[in-house]
Structure 1
Amino acid sequence: MNKLYKMATLFCTAAAVWSCANDSVLDFEYAKPESIANQEKIDAYKDLKTYVDRSSNPDFKLGAGISLSEYVSGGVVKRLVDRNFDEITMGYEMKHGAVVKNDGTFDFSGIDKLLAASQQSGVTIFGHTLCWHSNQNATYLKSLIAPVIIPSTGGPSWDLVTGNDFETDNASNYQVNSNVTVAYTAVGGGANGLGRALKVTNAAVRANDWEAQLFIKFSPAVQAGEKYQLSMDVRSDVNASYSTQAHVTPGAYKHWDFFGTISSTPTWTTYTKEITVSAEQATCGVIAFNLGKTATNYYFDNITLKKYNPTGGSTIIEKTPEQKKTIINESLEKWISEMVKKCATVKAWDVVNEPMDDGKPYELKTGIGKTLAADEFFWQDYLGKDYAVEAFRLARKYGNPTDKLFVNDYNMEYNLDKCKGLIKYVEYIESKGQKVDGIATQMHISINSNKENIASMFQLLAATGKLIKVSELDIAVGTGNVTESMLQKQAEMYKYVVDMYSKYIPAKQRYGITVWGVTDSKKDSSWLPGEKQALWDIQFTRKPAYAGFADGLNGMK
């Protein structure tokens, strides 16, 4: 027993020693992974809007572009927005296409929910947008200016054979010979200053007038005894006179006269000629205009060729450009007046969105000559250059007296001429008596965008004296394998944008900065699918961009 006791004592002592030794081995230090440490630093940042120095920037609004459903649902996105931002901008739901129905009535059900949620949270709304060419109910707008079709009553009628108003690039019913060139005038160069016209140039006097010809083609060919009526608007840079010939096909001459001789001057006039087809003219399907006698530019618009139908047929009555202008202007007034009155708590509006052309940055966009999407309608093609003047007039008339009214465009940091073109257009709007309170630059950029151009753009905008808003800021890094280095460059670019805004835009002109979207885009997103452009990732985790943006805001004095 004594021996066993001693052995037990020895065993317990050894176990105790071993246990102490084991504790010593487990007591060690380890370095925290750098990625975790960096994320903890980002997570330690406060909510974004707390970094704005309100004493230096009392009117500055930090905004987020989101969807109606994201905000009114009251979920994570709304809570994140309410904590970090002062203002929201709807991506789609305040646009014409979202509100106006096919019968012209207004559906404000979504707007009502938005206004209620905004007022409850104390977050303001930036109205986007009152007048744009996209996201419109084009079906309804086009129905307003569609031709009137009167069914036949059995009596005689004049049926359209061919026509062209040159508002599209459809050249299927005309061509020229090699001695003349053709082009379209700018919008506003058509008859009575509306739309476009066809410009035909004969650069030199020809030995024979038929050496320079414009051909109008139609089908079927005329037959002896039939009656036709040609009508068109014409003018020329100098006084001119030109005859017409009957051709079977372009260049296949048959008779020296078809629709008489036309006189033109620098002033638009309407030429109308009715004929009864002679045997010499029969089987012809082309009117040839002989332009070689005078070296000048000839202009043609609203050409129609009609055939007399003694038994009658449906009558198609096209609305004139003046009638279309009146109708579209009335529709614009109805839309803007109803929208701004409904949204009386909205104090700032994107009145005119993306007016300037990308290829011709000092000119307005146009839909003429383009195949338009189902939701595209270019107000300016019907109302002319003053369409924005009218939009600002209506927004001012029906909105709150102190509303801030903006014009908004994109790629101005990419193309400085577009920035200058927009500034010129703002000057034009104001020369017509309408005040533009601010200019908004969208800034959908990337980590490789030209920084010098960004700085130059802000300098140009600051010089206008207007309120300046960054309206849709996001910074793309790519949809592939995004590295930590790329995310750091994104953070640096977010900070750079805020730094340049702060450096060049005086405090009294700083309306605010809106980021476009709260999180990165999902792969099936309608906006930048799969892109990592935002301040949060799709799991609502703050990215380095959050820290860069916050640092920029913190430095804005």
Structure 2
Amino acid sequence: MIRKSTAKGFLWILISLGVLGCADMDPVEFDVEKPLSIKKQEELNSLEELKTYTSDDSRFKLGAGVSMSAYNAQGAMFSLTNENFQEVTAGYGMKHGAIVNDDGSLNLTSVNEFVENTTEQGVTIYGHTLMWHANQNASYLKSAIAPKEIPLPDGPGWMVLLDQSFETDDATGYQTNGPNAPIAFTAEGEGYNGVGRALKIVNAEVRANDWESQLFVTFPKVTEVGQKYRLEMDVRTEIAASFPTQAHTAPGGYKYWNFFGSISSTPEWKHINVETTIDANTSGCNTIAFNLGSNATTYYFDNIVVSWYNSKGVTYEERTPEEKKDTLSAHLEKWIEGIMTASKSNTHAWDVVNEPMDDANPYELKTGVGKTDLAEDEFYWQDYLGKDYAVTAFKLAEMYSNPDDLLFINDYNLEYNLDKCKGIIEYVNYIEEQGARVDGIGTQMHINIDSDKAKITEMFQLLAATGKMIKVSELDIGVGVKTTEANEELYVAQEEMYKFVMDQYFSLVPKAQQYGITIWSPTDSPASSSWRAGEPIGLWTEGFTRKPAYRGVVEGLGGIDIN
């Protein structure tokens, strides 16, 4: 143990020798090398803003896809866009579905704000899009060509939808589910009250499930909630029986177990008169299914009548194809005039017709005919206006645009399906043969790091050969995994693919035909996005940090290898 006095002595000696003094000490110098990741990020951050790498002597525009509402909010995305891009394309805000109200009027408030904000920033707008099958106010368009209402002379009342007496071989409105319910008819004079004939169905044995033997009665109207329906018929069975009725969306398309309740029958003819009010369980149906399998007997049906109560007192008359075409053409002009007039002060190029070509039949137009899964905002103009629908659109666009505006047609997968690329070129030729003007072709290019480079090259060659202005309209490049799984190797491959696409564009498309390239998603796509959700497709991260892809675009624009 050291005594206090001894410890003080040692301390004094050390101070005297200068061991603990600091006046004469030299600082220790040493270097720590920056982590490689920081050096790489600093290199990316040292690059200029993207638009500074575009040529001053070219009409080429570097564009960005933006949310119109986000741009108008003037936040971080607003600043990034203005600093790096010369043109913007609204992802949704300038489309029919965003602007057309349910009465056909146009709400252009946000568009007017967008035009004002971009003008102030010296950024032009690429109009997207005048005519498409998606993002439409389809409910309004369908209502505009819906059957005409014709007032009934007697006002509201019951209207017969089906009246089947079985007196002829006309099988309208009925069928069975097969061998367990064979269709036959009685002799003349064995129908209800000894008049005419009746439908005869033999269920030979009791089935494990009553629906194994069914008679379907179908009527030409789909039920809606709140409507009243009535079933009238004459029925008898060789033994006392009871059988249920189901609601079906089509014969065999079961929806609900109870439609008009259970029907009781006896060996004597019985007249049935049952009414029902449609609810959520029975809406969307047009078929009554009679389940006959619980009784081993012969069923006789006659004079089946299905009616609905017309509370409006109107009937409906289908519009002719020509009437539908005229109605839609008038609205199309109103729509094109409205959106182009509102934005023409700062919009000098337009995506007039978007995605016209069919994927399975790339030399033919898309169609909604036969599709049973149409989205709520899906409407195929071409099914009503015909092959010349684009001719009409381009003529209207030329009428309401500025004199020097450029009018484009646009489609996707042209680099994936070269026949589709050839198909749209053929369609452009057709449009112009009909007297309309098409200035350019847009290729969307939503691709991946493993997309076929040879096909990309051939696509640009095909497009360049048209002599039209060529625009890469929606470029983004996926890496095959979500952002949470991406790594440096994938990001380097993404950088290389961005550079490759731009190199091919500038080397294969003559300068006079180079309209521009739009980066569809400048930042990586959020997990909540409706477009390539959670994919790292951008040049920046979601937090606005530059990625290697940024350098790929810089190199592609400048035609030089920075490294």
- CA–CA separation in structure 1 for the residues paired with 2:106 and 2:73: 22
TM-score normalised by structure 2 residue count: 0.71
CA contact (8 A) 1:70 1:77 kept: yes
Of the candidates 540, 553, 556, which is equivalent to residue 557 of structure 2? 553
Of the candidates 431, 434, 445, which is equivalent to residue 433 of structure 2? 431
**1:280/1:401 CA distance change after superposition, 3 Å:** farther
**1:340/1:13 CA distance change after superposition, 3 Å:** same
Q: CA RMSD in A?
A: 3.2
- CA–CA separation in structure 1 for the residues paired with 2:456 and 2:349: 25
C-alpha deviation, 1:53, in angstroms: 2.0
Letter aligned with residue 164 of structure 2: A
Of the candidates 165, 175, 180, which is equivalent to residue 222 of structure 1? 165
User: Does 1:470 pair with 2:492?
Assistant: no
Percent of aligned pairs with the same residue?
50
- CA–CA separation in structure 2 for the residues paired with 1:99 and 1:323: 25
- CA–CA separation in structure 2 for the residues paired with 1:556 and 1:123: 26
Letter aligned with residue 221 of structure 1: Q
CA contact (8 A) 1:67 1:93 kept: yes
User: Does 1:129 pair with 2:129?
Assistant: yes
User: Does 1:150 pair with 2:150?
Assistant: yes
C-alpha deviation, 1:280, in angstroms: 6.4
User: Does 1:446 pair with 2:389?
Assistant: no
Name which of structure 1's ranges 13-22 and 147-156 shifts more when overlaid on structure 2: 13-22
C-alpha deviation, 1:527, in angstroms: 1.6
- CA–CA separation in structure 1 for the residues paired with 2:428 and 2:15: 95
Name which of structure 1's ranges 150-159 and 505-514 shifts more when overlaid on structure 2: 150-159
Write the mapping of 1:346-495 to structure 2, written as runs, cut at 5 A: 346-370=347-371, 371-477=373-479, 478-479=481-482, 480-495=484-499
User: Does 1:512 pair with 2:513?
Assistant: no
C-alpha deviation, 1:21, in angstroms: 7.7
CA contact (8 A) 1:246 1:253 kept: no
C-alpha deviation, 1:323, in angstroms: 0.9
CA contact (8 A) 1:408 1:441 kept: yes
> Which SS does the other structure have where 1:445 is aligned?
strand
Name which of structure 1's ranges 494-503 and 478-487 shifts more when overlaid on structure 2: 478-487
1:314-352, Cα deviation, whole Å (9 max, x unpaired) = 422111111111111111111111211222221110000
- Which ranges in structure 2 are unaligned for 5 or more consecutive residues? 1-7, 177-181, 187-194, 201-215, 218-304
C-alpha deviation, 1:524, in angstroms: 1.1
- CA–CA separation in structure 1 for the residues paired with 2:197 and 2:560: 79
Letter aligned with residue 424 of structure 1: E
User: Does 1:542 pair with 2:546?
Assistant: yes
Letter aligned with residue 351 of structure 2: D
TM-score normalised by structure 1 residue count: 0.72
1:201-229, Cα deviation, whole Å (9 max, x unpaired) = xxxxxxxxxxxxxxxxxx552356xxxxx
CA contact (8 A) 2:353 2:390 kept: yes
CA contact (8 A) 2:67 2:90 kept: yes
- CA–CA separation in structure 2 for the residues paired with 1:351 and 1:454: 24
Letter aligned with residue 554 of structure 1: G
Larger Rg: 2
- CA–CA separation in structure 2 for the residues paired with 1:540 and 1:341: 35
C-alpha deviation, 1:386, in angstroms: 0.5
Letter aligned with residue 445 of structure 2: M
User: Which residue in the other structure is 1:529 paired with?
Assistant: 533
Letter aligned with residue 524 of structure 1: S
Name which of structure 1's ranges 449-458 and 8-17 shifts more when overlaid on structure 2: 8-17
> Which SS does the other structure have where 2:135 is aligned?
coil
User: Which residue in the other structure is 1:116 paired with?
Assistant: 116
C-alpha deviation, 1:430, in angstroms: 0.7
- CA–CA separation in structure 1 for the residues paired with 2:155 and 2:11: 131
- Which ranges in structure 1 are unaligned for 5 or more consecutive residues? 162-218, 225-243, 256-278, 287-306
Letter aligned with residue 112 of structure 1: N
- CA–CA separation in structure 2 for the residues paired with 1:392 and 1:439: 13
CA contact (8 A) 1:62 1:514 kept: yes
CA contact (8 A) 2:65 2:519 kept: yes
Letter aligned with residue 38 of structure 1: K
1:354-382, Cα deviation, whole Å (9 max, x unpaired) = 00111111111111111211111110010
C-alpha deviation, 1:528, in angstroms: 1.6
CA contact (8 A) 1:444 1:472 kept: yes
CA contact (8 A) 2:525 2:537 kept: yes
CA contact (8 A) 1:158 1:308 kept: no
**1:14/1:114 CA distance change after superposition, 3 Å:** same
Of the candidates 32, 51, 54, which is equivalent to residue 52 of structure 1? 54
C-alpha deviation, 1:19, in angstroms: 8.7
